[in-house]
């Protein structure tokens, strides 16, 4: 595995992590709003 693909993979992972965090926060606020 070369540096390029490793960098691409870590970028992809951090993007997925941020997206998941955002979705999680929205779900929490949605639960608070609906309850």
Distance of alpha carbon 13 from its chain centroid, rounded?
Answer: 8
CA distance 22 to 2: 31
For residues 26, 27, 32 and 34, what is the CA-based torsion angle, rounded to 10 degrees?
Answer: 110
Mean pLDDT by 10 residues, the chain (35 residues): 88 92 92 86
pTM, to two decimals: 0.58
Taking CA atoms, 34 is separated from 10, 21, 23, 24, in Å, by: 36, 20, 16, 15
pLDDT at 33: 85
Structure confidence at residue 1 (pLDDT)? 65
Reported for 27-33, long-range contacts at CB under 8 A and 24+ positions apart, including other chains, are none
């Amino acid at each position: 595995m070369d540096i390029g693909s490793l960098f691409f993979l870590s970028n992809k992972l951090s993007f997925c992590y941020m997206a998941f965090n955002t979705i999680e926060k929205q779900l929490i606020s949605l639960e608070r709003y609906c309850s």
